[in-house]
Each structure stands twice: as structure tokens, then as C-alpha cells.
Chains A and B, each alone.
Chain A
Amino acid sequence: MLKSRLGGFVFQLIAFLLALGFVSLILLAVGASPFDAYKNMITGSVGSGRKFAEVLVSFVPLLLVTAGLLVTFSAGLWNIGVEGQIVLGAIGTTWVLRQFVESSVSPWLVISLAILGGMIVGAIWASFAGMLKTFGGVNEIFGGLGLNFVATALTLYLIFGPWKRDGVASMSGTEPFPEAFALPQLEGFRISPWALVIALVAVMIVYFILNGTYFGLKIIAVGKNIRAAYLLGIPTWQYSLYSFLICGALAGVAGALQVTAVYYRLIPAISSGYGYLGLMVAMLINYQAIWAVPVALFFAALNIGSIQLPIVMKLDSSLSGVLQGILVLFVLLTEGVRQKIVKKG
């Protein structure tokens, strides 16, 4: 039973309950009622249509990033640099939009170009980590981490330097773009259906690349055994690099949508940690694309639900991060335990 799919599911359920129990203990330790906290998180995320729309706003970038990371994980790569790739996507998009602020070009064309720009810049930024890895022998984790810091510094430089608001530069970001440059939203809600569609299409494309194409099969082969893949005739370093480009492009789109559908300007925290969160989602779903949508949605709900906590219960909203992190740890832990039991049995 342990080897079966059902066995795996039972273990994940156990992990979930353990994580919940652990967080409850933390809540009790700070003198809060776990029950109230969870109730507030649920009502805060799915309690109303408006709130659920907020969840979807958070879901879009998370899903895009997760989809991209599925490709790099399949290639056996830890693309920690995804955070910076989101940022550079946002910068690329902002740059394109800035070129057209005074023009009379159709806003649709401008937005399309801007998103495309974000995609390209994100991919280029990812290719840096990829080239450092393939040509420089720099582990992608270190290269990506370094590039993340550079990306943050670059954003701050642009916001306080060349792209600063008229008069005063501030942490609130660049001058907001005209309304015409925003992706249209659902009437009365903050979510743009266009953004949602782009994210869902992206995850479907990734699913088909990994499960139905020779290209995807080669990426997986490289990820599972790079030496054997090379002997089978696969140009391995090229495929590693392709996976970086795809992930970077999708992260770039996430950044582009943060600008065109959420903030309408470049802000310092434009990536909002979605890159790291995406890494956790990808690990949690064990790199299976099919699970990306529900789990990313769940994580987004935790994010939004916890916004209620400081207001209602005087708890810090970082509780969602605690819960997410603990959940991932417990899932990995129970998976490790399961593997041990399976091996012995």
C-alpha cells in the first residue's frame, strides 16, 4: 500500500495535519486561538467574491513562476534566481510602457509589447544564471542568488534614479502609468481575467511540453541523469540552458503582469517573494505539473487569508509564510519517511 499512489496521498494528508498541528502549537504559545486564526484565514480568502478575487491576483504570478520552475526542476536545476527573473520581467515591461506614454499607439498593442518585453528580459536574465552554470561552472543556486541581489539593486536604482517620480523619488515606486495601459479588470473586482487566462495557458503549455514533446522528454532525461543523457546523444548543456530560458520567460511574464495588472508601476518589492514561494509549491507537488493549479491556489489563499490576522486578531500576517514553510517541510519529511519504509519493506 505504501508504494501506491493512495499511500503517497495518505502520507501527504498526514503531513498536512502535522503542519496544522504544529502551527496550532505556535499559536497557542503566543496566546491566540488556533481555531479563530484558521477561521479568519478562511473567511479572509474565500469569504466573499471580492476576497476570492484577491486570492486570484496572488495566484496568477505564483502559478506562472511555479510553471516555469517545473521546467528547471525537470532539468535537475535549482533556479533560485527566479525571484530576480520576475523583477527583470517587471523592469522590461516598465521600460516598454515608458516608451509609449506620450504616443498614440493602440494600448492593446502597447500592453502586448510590454508583456513580450518582460518575457524576453526575464529570459535573458535567466540565461545569465544558465551561462554561469554551463560555461563558468558556477552552481545555479549561487549564481541565481547573486543575480537576485543585483536585480533588487537595479530596481532601486531605477526607482530612485532615472525613473524617479517628478519632484520626489519614493519607495512607492515610479509614476503610475495611464489607465489605458492597464489590463482590463472584471467589473468591480481587482482581478484581470486576461492575467488569469495567461497564467492558466502557461501552466497547460508547460504540462504538454513536459508530458507530450520530445523536447520535454530530453529535458527530463538531462535532469534525471545528465551523463547518460549525453551518451544517448542529447546536447545536454543546451537543454539546461533552454530550461533556464523557459523558466525566465514565464517568471518575466509574472513580473510583467505585476506591472500591467496589479501595481501599474514599478515598485521596489515588485516580485513580492513569489519566486521563493513558487519554489516551495514546486517542491510540494513533487514537480508534477498537474498539481500546480490547486496547490498554487491554496498557497495564494493562505497569503490573502492571513492579511486578516493583524486586523482582527493582532497577529502578524507572516503566519501564512510560517504555515506554508512548515507544510513543505512536513511533506518532504513524511516523503522521506515513506521512502525509508518502502525501502525496508
Chain B
Amino acid sequence: MNVDLRNIHKHFGKTYANKGINLSIQSGTIQGILGENGAGKSTLMKVLSGFIQADPGGEIILDGKSVVINSPADAIHVGVGMLHQDPLDFPPMRVLDNFMLGRSGGLFPNRTTVRQDFLKLAEQFDFSLDPDNYVDALTVGERQQLEIIRLLWMGARVLILDEPTTGISASQKNKLFATLKTLAGQGMTIIFVSHKLEDVEFLCNQVVVLRAGELVGEMHPPFDAVKLVEMMFGKVVTLGERQPIQTGDTVLELKGVSLEDVRLKIKNISLNLRAGEVIGLAGLEGSGQDLFIRACAGLVRPVGGRVILKGKDLTGKSYHAFKHEGVNFLPAARLEEGLVPGLSLTDHFVLAEEPKGVFIDKAYGQKLAEERIKSFNIRGNPTSTVESLSGGNQQRAELALLQSPLSLILLEHPTRGLDIESVIYIWSKLKDRCKQDGAAIIFISSDLDEVLQYSDRLMVFFSGDVSEPIDATTTSIEQLGQLIGGKGWPQKGEPHA
């Protein structure tokens, strides 16, 4: 099926997730869509698959016919099916029941014929799925296979895959790619959304790159990885003056730490972090850096190794034990995790002070809030609730909540969504605290400039692999971009399952 997207706009509040996107894909093509996090890839795909509606003015044309897609049901009706990053299935149900879901027609489905269809499709692609097994017993890769044949059975002729190679094994990946090539050969249109350069290079017939909501370029094979990286992350920018660092005693020591969650396994990280040092964690979202930073905060328990803070072994202790030793964690989701919506700035400062006594000293709270608001340049007043502040001011408020004395500051995306003025201000404050308290910083950022600019060393995460700490001064933005896309890593035996 030929897919034509014309002039697709989508805005959320003041920010444009998609800005006038035109894209046409011929039947039988495997179209790659590249872009960093927040570039607008997922939004575009959700528009096409009916999960969200584009702003008026755009048009979706399938095989020359303009269509209106208002829901995922509409989408599958016109032949568009989307495979999400996290498979949208019902784990407590059986494979066959999941397979039948979403199909309209009949109160009492004919299980025998459905079962035959299922087995035939599974056999065609060499998927070994037991229709009577429960979905929660399947691996991510198998759930993907189930979802693919379900969408095909429902009549999909355009198949969208959002980051499908995250969390599946190498053999499952090979099988997936083989399946996609077969389907394309049969005239299906495949849209493959990814940030992994090598997957895109291997699989796709053509690639477009999105950046900040706009389509910034396209490429046909042979692909030029350097150029793709440049398109993904924008132009090379000059770095400002760096300050030579003066490092002090060891603050944090990791000895062979291993971490695990449902998707990722990270093995054997060792690190020695000294006072005054800043380490940036780069990598596309969900590559393991969030797990790592939370382990440094005591919010995630390592499955192996030791976490030593200022000579104290804190392995397996809670965040409050870490906090007691001067570790502060500022999460990316400010209103979800960092601040308490509904409470005022004063309330926050009072709570963070770990007050003694029973009754709230209102005058003291007021004075404290006024002081902090002034010294952190927050636009708001003591009684402002945190949700009424702008993002930049919320971030300043979080910084104003940092305790004293500090030994380690952990930050997730400290400047995401902030204007340049706020970014510079926040980093100057952070560096001040580092100097004052002899603290170290570990931060996650998807902004490569920020990582290179502010860190002394950096670690790159890719699907659970972690690079050795690299000297930031001798790394270029291209090198970093390639590492993030999975290129230039030392060869390993078996990729992560």
C-alpha cells in the first residue's frame, strides 16, 4: 500500500511535535525513520495509526485515497497496524484470546477457525507460538511475533514498528528482520522507527531523519553513518571554555555493580568518582542510564557488586540512607517525582529542611522561602504552588531543595525543555555547589552538547552495554553520536538478550 503523509502538524501546548511533515512511501518499501528522543517520530506514527489526531490541515492518503483516521480501530480498518515499543497485549490472557481481541463481528467467535488461521500464519513466518500458552510467559520477542501476526490477520497492509529491536535477542532480531523483508516482498509497506543506526542500515530501503519535529533529510543506500548522525543531532557546535577540574577525594566507588530490570541487564560496572568531578551519561532513553543513576541513589538495588560512598559500604541500603550521606537525586519528571503538586514553595523548603519541633514556624518558613527564591532567582512567590511555576522555575526550585552538606548530586535531564539562559544558570549553580561542598555530579542528558560541555568524563549506554568512562575533552560530537547509535563499540561475544 502506498502511504502519503501531507503537511502533518501536531502541537502539544506551545511545542510542535510535528511541523509540516511530508512523506511518501511506496508499496513494498521498508522505510526507516531516525531521530533522537523527542524528535517527533512516535508522534508521527501515532498520527498515522490513530492514537492521536493531527492538527487540522494535514492529510493522510493511502493508495491515492484520502482517509480520516480517528482511532486505532479506524487505522486497522484502512489497513494500518502499529506494533508498539511495549507490546499492547493482555498478559494474563492466553495467546489465542489475545490474537482474537480487536476483531469485530460476532458475540461468539469461532475458535476453531481462528485457531487454524493462527497456526497457519505462525507457520508461514516460522514463529513457534503455542496458542494455549499465557502471554505473560512469553518473551518480548515472542509477544512481538504474536502482535505481528495478529495485525496481519486483521488486515494490516502497512505495518509500523516502533523501536522493535529493544529488548529482544539476536536470533529473534534476525527472525524479525527476515519476516519484515518477506512482508515487504509481498507488497506490504513497513515503517521502521528506530534510533539504532546499524538496524536501519541493514534493513531499510530508504531513511528519513526527524529533528525537533521537522523532517530534516532523507537518504538511500548506501547509508553514510556520519551524515545520519549529523542530521539527527544537528550541526556541530563549538564548545565553550572548559575549566580544568581539581578533583579531591573519592566520593563514590562502584565495584563490579550489576543491575537488572525487566528489559535490561547491565553487568559489571566499576567507577571511581572524585569530589568536584562531573560525569555525563549519554545514550538514547531507556538504554540503562536511568537504571544506573537510580542505583547510585539507592533507589534501585544492584543484583551484584558493591556501592561505596565516602568509604561507607551502602550496597542495598535505601535512598534515605544514601541521602543521609549527602546524596541527592533530582528526577526528570519534576511534577511526578521531584515536587509535590498542590504544596507551595514554602512547604517544600520547610519539608526539605527536616524540621525539628511540632508546630510549623510560619515566619521562619516565609523567611526561608524568600531567601531561596531570591538566591535561586525563581519567578514565583512563597505561596505559589509548584505546578503553577514554569518548567525552568520548577527546576530552580528543585535545585533550591538540595540539602547541605552534599556529597553527590544525581540529575536526570537537568535542563530538558529549558531555555538557554536557564541552562547556563542551572549549571553555574551546580558547579558552585560542587566546589562549595566538595560534591560530585552524575547526570543524564540526551543533549550531546550539554554532555560534552559540562562533564569531565562521560559514559555511553547502549542497550544495557556501558562504555568505560571516556575523557570528555577528547571526544567529538560525531564520535559520541555514533557510540549512542551503537557504532564503534568493541566487539562482544553474545549481544544482550
Contact = CB atoms under 8 A, between A and B. Distances in A.
A228 B386 CA distance: 12
A43 interface: no
Contacts, number: 63
Contact of A221 (B323, B331, B340, B359): B340
Contacts of A214: 350-351, 355, 357-360
B401 A217 contact: no
B343 A231 contact: no
Interface string A215-252: 10110110011011111111100000000000000000
Nearest to B339: A228
Given A217-B350, A232-B348, A232-B351, A224 B359 contact: no
A227 B351 contact: no
A213 interface: yes
Given A217-B351, A218-B351, A221-B347, A231 B338 contact: yes
Interface in B381-417: 401, 403
B341 A217 contact: no
A233 B337 contact: no
B360 A224 contact: no
A215 B359 CA distance: 8
A325 interface: no
B336 interface: yes
B248 interface: no
Contact of B329 (A215, A224, A231, A234): A231
A273 interface: no
A212 interface: yes
B319 A231 contact: yes
Main secondary structure of the interface of A (DSSP, over half): helix
Contacts of A227: 336-337
A3 to B, nearest CB: 12
Contacts of B350: 214, 217
Contact of A232 (B352, B358, B359): B352
Nearest to A236: B320
A218 B354 CA distance: 10
The size bracket of the interface on A is 10 to 19
Interface in B313-370: 319-320, 323, 329, 331, 336-343, 347-348, 350-352, 354-355, 357-360
A286 to B, nearest CB: 12
Given A233-B320, A233-B352, A228 B360 contact: no
Contact of B351 (A213, A221, A235): A221
Given A213-B358, A213-B360, A229 B320 contact: no
Interface in B420-464: none
Contact of A224 (B340, B352, B357, B403): B340
A231 B359 contact: no
Interface string B97-130: 0000000000000000000000000000000000
B323 A224 contact: no
Given A228-B340, A231-B329, 19 more contacts: A212-B359, A212-B360, A214-B355, A217-B350, A217-B360, A220-B343, A221-B351, A224-B341, A224-B343, A228-B339, A229-B340, A230-B319, A231-B319, A231-B338, A232-B340, A232-B348, A233-B320, A233-B354, A233-B403
Interface of B: 319-320, 323, 329, 331, 336-343, 347-348, 350-352, 354-355, 357-360, 401, 403
